[in-house]
Structure 1
Amino acid sequence: MKRVLEGLRVVSFGLVISAPSAARMLCDLGAEVIKIEPHQGDTMRMIRPVKKDNRGKLQSGIFTALNCGEKSMALDLRTEEGQEIARKLILEWADVVIANFKPGTLAKFGIDYETIRNLKPGIIYGEISGYGQKGPWAQRGAYDICVQSECGIAAQNGPWGEKPHRVGFSVLDYLSGRDLVIGILGALHYRERTGQGQHVDISLYNSGVTVLEDAIPGYDMEGVIAGTVGSRHPSASPHNLYKTRDGYINIIAINNFLWKKLVTIMGRPDLEKAEGLSTGLERLENMDRIDEIIEEWTSRHTTDEIAEMMDAAGLPRGKLCTVKDVIESEQTRFWNMAPRIEQPFLGEVRINNCPIKYSEAETDIKGPAPILGEHNRDVVCDVLGYDPETFDQMKSRGVFADDL
């Protein structure tokens, strides 16, 4: 089965998570991706979980997940020859360039958008940074945890009314990666109609601000500064994670219709019209009381028992699952969302699959993640047309590196 982006050529300077997550999705959709790494490789190659392969070298599971299906070229961009190789690859081969360096870095190597667009007007550049390519904070260094604090996400994350903390994974790296994919697809559509390429500017900060949900209008309309909410919702109740006999389950009944169903299966129909509980606003004002009543009920049953009752009543619910539960879930297996792939020198590795499922096109993982510099010779000789002797000479001068 074909893929929707077959024929699209992407040069990725992406490192760590944000830009690589975008390149991975474009690759899943069919693009051919050449990843350009420094000689020491992407930092994620040494980030846990790691395992020794049959060469005695460590391979990283998260690097595999972020870069599967791509090609790797380890190129020293500090050298003139390295810059020339990168420039030639962009000008002669690429449709799209992806990067997540600090703003201005690509310009130091002579491969920035403004330089390349004058030579190739149809080129599309997609760059991710902490705070954007321009603006008052553009030159600030940034990691996901820093921007979670700056953009307002961390202030709402944590147990109700207690100390804020970061979301437990690099949510902004992945959000900005998805936003970059959307931006690139839009730029490709625009180029198809006009012939004109463009620069797509994505920042962790802007991606974070877009998911603050009701916090921005809440402050503007009511003067409320959103704080930590835990599993509660500041605008609706019941909306929480409740303890059962053997675990936890999310229960949400945010309107009168769902509230009536919930109190019925609880065996407490008297609560439907009880004083202080008959409307959504009243239930919001009495969420402590509601949570206490519901948890008194859930604590007498197992998680599965609660889930079965709610399913039978057509009520939404969410069992608290570990990653082991997720991997073993019939839902995950049905959609093949955690398949095993064969990684060179290592064997089978289980990673996440593409979440996009088309009716007429394939999106499953295209292949393993590359070994550092695995495709140096292929790219230089087969794609760019250099003869093998020239490649060997450049390699001897330190332009290329590999871990083969």
Structure 2
Amino acid sequence: MAKKRIFEGLKIADFTWLGVGPIATKFMAEMGATVIHIESSTRPDICRVSAPYKDWQPGINRSAFFAVYNDSKYGISLNLKMPQAQKVAKRIITEWADVVADAHLPGIMESWGLDYETLKKERPDLIHVATAMQGKTGPYSKMPGHGMVGVSLGGFTHLTGWPDREPTVPFGALTDYLTFPHMVTVLIAALLYRKKTGKGQYIELSQLECSVQYLAPPLMDYMINGRILTRMGNLSPYAAPHTTYRCKGEGEKWCAIAVSTDEEWQSFCRVIGNPEWAGNPKFATLEGRKANEDELNEMVEQWTMNYTPHEVMTRLQEAGVAAGVVESCEELVADPQLNHRGTHVILEHPEIGPHIYQPPPYRFSKTPHELTMPAPCMGQHNEYILKEVLAMSDDEIADLLVAGALE
């Protein structure tokens, strides 16, 4: 008998877009929830119109960016500016869904008549989880933005880069990736509450607040000691050596090394053969190594350049020194550890073709996950949802098409 997935039977009406919400609902879908992703071609998800595209040819169904965050979901296109589409969306919620997820600015869901205060009158057991960059309340709640803005508001950009250069925005929408686990967690908590009481509730999630928690140490240092952490490149105030070092091999080959204690330093020196320079008293303590860090890094790289990144990593790890290969995307796809764990799942997308998707990074022994289908093309499941979920007639669907409500 096939094992049931943990969220089988749960139904989610997904009005989210960009990163946080789609990733959270994707993981819920892979763990068994049935998710209907509601969107519109009149204002498509930014991820749908963002590279990379299949064969670098733009198209609303050709973005790998959108695809990787929306697998295992059904998709319906509804132009929610139209009353007819609003009625359809409301029926999906009131007649079918257990959970509503949205990622719109305050006032948007209200303008469609799809806000929690309106919906709970018909569905007091409904759970509505809403995420916004800075939350749904407060003086900046209506400021639009996404993860690239959030990392700057959250202080990450100020800390990223080199001290003699301008701040560097971290790669990707970092705050989205930091926030979606919170969204999944609070949704599970609300489901447990509903199981005990029969009551739903409204949850609003600030991406900024979720992300700022990860800067707790430097924030506390400022509040207590008045110190402001600034850009240090790859360096650390608590370790030396601590950066990436060029290694042997074609093209750019690097290995990251971090030596945090004097004991680790002694182990590092043994691995590299205890060269004469390593015995210099100025390198004997962390304070000394930090004071002479430029010279130290030059000497370390003279050693690493004789070995491949994997050789450097293996030798140091065997000695108890933290080290890791700096992998490219090509190397990540071929990584034996990731492939052993089934991290790269290939699904056949209607337009993109065979495409890599990522399953949840956790594994349940009793309730496994499953990627059931690739991300939907725009409006791909309109007929299925309207007929099978809402039991609408062909004439009713034709009226929606003629009115433009299914755009």
User: What TM-score do you get using the length of structure 2 for normalisation?
Assistant: 0.91
Separation in 2, partners of 1:142, 1:164: 19
- 1:132 aligns to 2:135 (yes or no): yes
**CA deviation digits over 1:173-214, x for unaligned, max 9?**
222222211221122122222322222222221122112252
Choose the corresponding residue for 1:149, options 142, 148, 152: 152
CA positional deviation for 1:152: 0.4
Letter in 1 for 2:306: R
Q: Which residue of 2 aligns with 1:320?
A: 326
Separation in 2, partners of 1:48, 1:253: 38
Q: Which residue of 2 aligns with 1:265?
A: 271
Aligned with 1:237: secondary structure?
coil
CA positional deviation for 1:108: 0.4
- 1:25 aligns to 2:31 (yes or no): no
Change (3 A) 1:16 1:279: same
Choose the corresponding residue for 2:46, options 21, 43, 46: 43
Q: Is the 8 A contact 1:9 1:33 kept in 2?
A: yes
Please list, as runs of the form range in 1=range in 2, the aligned pairs for 1:373-384 lying within 5 A after superposition. Answer: 373-384=379-390
Q: Which residue of 1 aligns with 2:343?
A: 337
Which 10-residue stretch deviates more, 122-131 or 35-44? Answer: 35-44
Change (3 A) 1:242 1:356: same
CA positional deviation for 1:58: 5.2
Separation in 1, partners of 2:351, 2:241: 51
Q: Which residue of 2 aligns with 1:371?
A: 377
Q: Which residue of 1 aligns with 2:403?
A: 397
Q: Which residue of 2 aligns with 1:354?
A: 360
Separation in 2, partners of 1:206, 1:300: 45
CA positional deviation for 1:360: 1.7
Change (3 A) 1:58 1:193: closer
- 1:77 aligns to 2:80 (yes or no): yes
Q: Is the 8 A contact 2:148 2:174 kept in 1?
A: no
Q: Which residue of 2 aligns with 1:14?
A: 16
Q: Is the 8 A contact 1:239 1:250 kept in 2?
A: yes
Q: Is the 8 A contact 1:338 1:352 kept in 2?
A: yes
Structure 1: runs of 5 or more not aligned: none
Separation in 2, partners of 1:151, 1:310: 35
CA positional deviation for 1:289: 4.3
Choose the corresponding residue for 1:386, options 377, 381, 392: 392
Separation in 2, partners of 1:52, 1:36: 27
- 1:186 aligns to 2:186 (yes or no): no
Separation in 1, partners of 2:185, 2:363: 16
Structure 2: runs of 5 or more not aligned: none
Change (3 A) 1:187 1:282: farther
Q: Which residue of 1 aligns with 2:103?
A: 100
Q: Is the 8 A contact 2:49 2:60 kept in 1?
A: no
Separation in 2, partners of 1:179, 1:47: 25
Letter in 2 for 1:141: P
**CA deviation digits over 1:239-297, x for unaligned, max 9?**
21122233211111212332221121122287888534444455445444433332232
Choose the corresponding residue for 1:232, options 221, 229, 235: 235
Q: Is the 8 A contact 2:130 2:203 kept in 1?
A: yes
RMSD, aligned CA: 2.3
Q: Is the 8 A contact 1:260 1:272 kept in 2?
A: no
CA positional deviation for 1:137: 1.0
Letter in 2 for 1:10: I
Q: Is the 8 A contact 1:172 1:204 kept in 2?
A: yes
Letter in 2 for 1:370: P
Which 10-residue stretch deviates more, 260-269 or 96-105? Answer: 260-269
Q: Give the number of aligned pairs.
A: 399
Letter in 1 for 2:168: H
Please list, as runs of the form range in 1=range in 2, the aligned pairs for 1:115-126 lying within 5 A after superposition. Answer: 115-126=118-129
Please list, as runs of the form range in 1=range in 2, the aligned pairs for 1:141-180 lying within 5 A after superposition. Answer: 141-180=144-183
Letter in 1 for 2:10: L
Letter in 2 for 1:182: T
Q: Is the 8 A contact 1:357 1:363 kept in 2?
A: yes
Separation in 1, partners of 2:280, 2:224: 30
CA positional deviation for 1:33: 0.4
Identity of aligned residues (%): 26
Letter in 2 for 1:338: H
Separation in 2, partners of 1:186, 1:232: 39
Separation in 2, partners of 1:282, 1:214: 24
Aligned with 2:62: secondary structure?
strand
Q: Which residue of 2 aligns with 1:241?
A: 244
**CA deviation digits over 1:137-183, x for unaligned, max 9?**
11111122222111100011113553211111111122222221122
Q: Is the 8 A contact 2:61 2:351 kept in 1?
A: no
**CA deviation digits over 1:89-139, x for unaligned, max 9?**
111211111111111110001111121123322211111211110012111
